[in-house]
Amino acid sequence: MTDWNKIENTFETIDNELSSVLCDAYDLRNFLKVQKMAHVSKDNDGSIIPIIDCAESIIKFLESIERNNN
């Protein structure tokens, strides 16, 4: 027999964790901007891709998952 309450609780936990991680990503993006680090290279090998692009990609990905879950 399927325990629907357990399944529902699992989805609620995933939604809560997703929201928490998304808030962390927003905080990271804001920190990079405030500390004037947004345009620092994403790695130490001289990459031309700024770290803010990585943060934005993470945020877009998490937001798309959040949209699809609701």
Report pLDDT digits (tens) over 7-60. Answer: 677 777 778 888 899 999 999 999 999 999 888 888 878 788 899 999 999 999
For residue 39, give every residue at least 6 positions away whose Cβ sits within 8 Å of its Cβ, in sequence order, or none. Answer: 50, 51, 52
pLDDT above 70 for 1: no
Give the end-to-end CA distance of the chain in Å, rounded to a whole number.
26
Could you tell me the pTM of the whole model? 0.78
